[in-house]
Amino acid sequence: MNKILVVDDEPNIRLVYREVLSDGGYEVLEAESAKETFEILNREPIDLVVLDIKLRSESGLDVLQRITNEFPNLPVVLCSAYVSFQNDYTSWLAESYVVKSSDPEELLLEVNKVLRKKGGH
């Protein structure tokens, strides 16, 4: 079973993503900060990270850069309520970009696609 790390500072978003991804057959871990994210990444084998761009105390794009540097083969799916971040070159480091919406199924479809491409699901 693939392990997905959901990084978002909003507990309700993490809950929705956990439910949708768990129902999709994934084991889901959660983090609400960069510190927690890297603690988990350094102790657990993670297959994919779902990362919010706007975290409370840090930029998700900074976290993305660090993940890319420290875990170069780990795919990241960025999530944001703001479409404008797709134009930020740093966001191009991610495998995919999903705009938060009332339909979390889009995230599940994107996660499935990215993991299939990487040969993991």
**H-helix or E-strand spanning residue 49:** strand 48-52
For the chain, the average pLDDT equals 86
- pTM, whole model, 2 decimals? 0.86
- Look-up: residue for tokens 């479409």? 83
Retrieve residue 109's tokens.
């479809």
CATH of the domain at 14: 3.40.50.2300
3-state helix, strand, coil in the chain (%, to 5): 45, 20, 30
**Residue ranges making up the domain that contains 10:** 3-117
Retrieve residue 11's tokens.
């507990």
In the chain, the number of structural domains is 1
pLDDT in tens, 62-106: 999 999 999 999 999 988 775 555 555 555 556 766 777 767 888
